Amino acid sequence: MIKKLYYIYVYKLKDKSTKSIKIEPWRSFKEKMNVLGLKDSNIFQIQMVWYDPSNNKKKQ
């Protein structure tokens, strides 16, 4: 079974934890924040990362 590769957003938070979400073209920035339970003030950095679910490694 072939799994699709896709991009995710990785949110690095001020408390040094991370959260991630798959990039969906229909989902707005605010909706992503609500899904993850984040506020603007919690975020330190956002990265877009190429994700391969078959080997669980992220390429930047």
Q: What is the pLDDT of residues 7-40, one digit of tens each?
A: 999 999 999 999 999 999 999 999 999 999 999 9
> What are the structural domain ranges in the chain?
6-59
Task: Let me know: does 21 contact 36? Beta carbons within 8 Å.
Answer: yes
CA–CA distance, 21 with 57 (Å, rounded to integer)? 15
**For the chain, what percentages of helix, strand and coil (3-state, to nearest 5) are there?**
20, 45, 40
Q: How confident is the model at residue 57 (pLDDT cuts 50, 70, 90)?
A: low
Question: Is the pLDDT confidence value at 60 over 70?
Answer: no
Phi and psi at 58, nearest 5°, equal -110, 135
